[in-house]
Amino acid sequence: MGCFARVETNGGAFEQVNLLYGENPNLSVREFTAPFNRAGIKTHMLDRGLNGLRMFPVPADVRKLMYSVKRAQGVDITRIFCGLNDPRNIIPSIQYAKEGGMIPQAALCITYSPLHTVEYYVNLAEQLIEAGAEEICLKDMAGIGRPCSIGQIIKGIKSRHPEILVQYHGHTGPGFSVASMMEAAKNGVDILDVAMEPLSWGMVHPDVITIQAMLKDAGYTVPEINMEAYMEARRLTQEFVDDFLGFFIDPSNKIMTSLLVGCGLPGGMMGSMMADLKGMHNAINLALRQQGKKEVTLNNLVVQLFKEVEDVWPMLGYPPLVTPFSQYVKNIALMNIFAAAKNEPRFSMIDKDSWNMILGKTGKLPGPLAPEIIELAKENGYEFYEGDPQEAFPDELEKYKAEMKESGWEEGPDQEELFEFAMHDRQYRDLKSGAAKKRFNQELEQAKEKAGTPIIVKRPVMEIPMFNFEEITANYPNAKPVHAPCKGQVLWQYDMMDASTAPFEGATIHEKDNLCYIQNYYGIEPVSVGYGGTVVGTYVKQGDHVQKGQILAFIN
């Protein structure tokens, strides 16, 4: 097309999707970067700092290996970010990237709060540049950075460090992005992240055509777009969408909404959020009925969730709403709504990953916790962590080397297979066994059966089993439902390829026992119960996919 200086080729989501699809991301990255390397277009990856390419912390030796592997695979630049903007999680990766031969670009996660001022971001950039960052990115993942402030942050960085390349990455969700890019250009930004049809706009980036025309009109020198090449790339992308991607895109990803201005949630997670709400809708209405309260519509729940996020975010120390911390804040808010429906206390259902954020195990929160959150931690016997987050996760490469040798697996060129195994061990095992490809093909066939034809504006929604609530409550007035704590695949046994039904009806279960497990994108989540009794009904089979909050069973 002649207009791109660099292209994002890989990162956490890219490599995990490859694995879930049943393909080896090492081969994909090498093949994808090769033509850009030949054309002289720099390749770019997304790097989650302490979390590497996954959703939870990575040992230091695995983090170090990542940069030499990715450089050997043809990746030039790594965009390093920490969802909490904690320099302790970013600075080691800057050094590791340099040692591995990559260009370290340090990211500032942009959000809008009383704490996240222009001065805050300029000072953070100063720390990261002093630590060796060669480029700075303003990562406006929710697109809620206000245009004027975006311009002032860039001006502040450029006035101190005119030699530092600054890149702006802004999503379009709440509608600020085009204005933000204009302000960024006025204040000296070097590179703007854009997308192209059919995947631009909505919750993604503005389209390259619009931004190029805007800048050209404002007097900037910008490359011309080869429209013949643009249309061919657009056709190829649409072909990929029609092949299978279109079956899995939530329609909300194609829509902008000003509701995001208030809650600050990133548009990229709107699809998963709506899936969570659909999964919880049935459970919340059941709880409301049992309490003699009026049921709510899905739209009511959306408004309630946005309002609850606004309320709890300051109480949780204003973590920037970026992966994975946006998910944690949303999860706590959603569980608060569920608790209220059951007449239970607020913050009575906080998952372990959210507690790790609260306790400081994944980095320092920007602001103070509310007194009630601190008191709740003490009541649960939890201790706040003051040390360097990396120190809590010891090296593990030798363990994975030993397992690969025992399994007869090669470490691969430049140890790329060792790296992939250590970074995504569960998904890598499923890749090697063929389980991932088999599972994906089953999901795709189910999606095709429901959708009929691949369309980008209508994602097949998983049908939630309809329960005979009246029968359950009549026969077992004290029965309580067990809900899925996350979205994923139900494992009544660990062997996920076993399609047998759950064997637990009539079984006795004790408080804090694990009823079953759920395989999700970051591992296996146990489903423990908060009360003992007899299992009087199970509603999903081994291997079934469930939404967060979906009822799995009743215990009397």
Q: Are residues 474 and 384 both part of a single domain?
A: no
Q: What is Dmax (Cα atoms) for the chain?
A: 75
Q: Give yes or no: residues 244 and 325 share one domain.
A: no
Residue with tokens 């990211």: 107
Q: Which amino acid is at 20?
A: L
Residues 308 and 373 in one domain: yes
Query: Which run of H or E residues covers position 181?
Result: helix 177-186
Question: In angstroms, rounded to a whole number, what is the distance separating the alpha carbons of residues 440 and 21?
Answer: 6
Tell whether 208 and 317 lie within a shared domain: no
The total domain count for the chain is: 3
Question: Quick one: 232 and 299 in the same domain?
Answer: no
What confidence score (pLDDT) does residue 267 get?
Answer: 62
Q: Please enumerate, as own/partner, the contacts of 215-222 that have beta carbons within 8 Å and a separation of 24 or more.
A: 215/182, 215/185, 218/182, 218/185, 220/185, 222/3
Check whether residue 220 and residue 306 sit in a common domain.
no
> What is the pLDDT at residue 502?
54
The CATH number assigned to the domain holding 516 equals: 2.40.50.100
- pLDDT score for 519: 75
Look at residue 473 and tell me if it is in a domain.
Answer: yes
**Structural domain containing residue 105:** 6-252
Residue that is last in its domain, among 211, 236, 252: 252
Do residues 99 and 189 share a domain? yes
Query: Is 421 among the domain residues?
Result: no
pLDDT of res. 284: 85
Q: Where among 223, 252, 281 does a domain terminate?
A: 252
Q: What is the DSSP string of 157-170?
A: HHHH-TTSEEEEEE
**What 3-state DSSP class applies to 409?**
coil
Task: Please check whether residues 337 and 473 belong to one and the same domain.
Answer: no
Tell whether 326 is covered by a domain: yes
CATH code of residue 271: 1.10.472
Q: Which residues contact 491 (CB under 8 A, 6 or more apart)?
A: 516, 517, 518, 519, 524, 542, 543
pLDDT value at residue 496: 45
Q: Spell 282-309 as b/e; 16+ CB within 10 A means b.
A: bbbbbbbebeeeeebeeeebbebbbebb
- Helix axes of 435-451 and 425-433: crossing angle, nearest 10 degrees: 80
Which run of H or E residues covers position 127?
helix 118-130
For the chain (556 residues), the mean pLDDT of every run of 10, in chain order, is 94 88 95 96 95 92 97 98 95 97 97 94 98 97 94 98 97 94 98 94 94 97 95 93 82 80 70 71 82 86 87 93 84 89 87 89 93 94 93 94 96 97 93 90 82 44 49 75 80 53 70 79 71 80 76 84
By DSSP bridging, strand 103-109 and strand 77-80 are: parallel
Residue 288 sits in the same domain as residue 176: no
| pTM, to two decimals | 0.82
Backbone angles phi, psi at 303, to 5 degrees: -65, -45
* Phi, psi (degrees; rounded to nearest 5) at 64: -60, -40
Give the model's pLDDT for residue 381.
92
Query: Cα–Cα distance between 499 and 157 in angstroms, integer?
Result: 57
| Domain final position from 388, 405, 430 | 388
In a domain? residue 214: yes
Is the domain of 287 the same as that of 222?
no
CA angle 32, 36, 40 (to 5 degrees): 160
Pairing, β 551-555 against β 480-483: antiparallel
In sequence order, the 6+-apart residues with CB closer than 8 A to the CB of 11 are 45, 46, 47, 53, 79
Asked whether residue 143 falls in the same domain as residue 288, the answer is no
What DSSP designation does 323 have? T
CB atoms < 10 A from the CB of 360, how many?
A: 19
Q: How far is 42 from 26, CA to CA, in rounded Å?
A: 18
Is residue 136 a part of any domain in this protein?
yes
Instruction: Indicate whether 41 belongs to any domain.
Output: yes
CATH at 162: 3.20.20.70
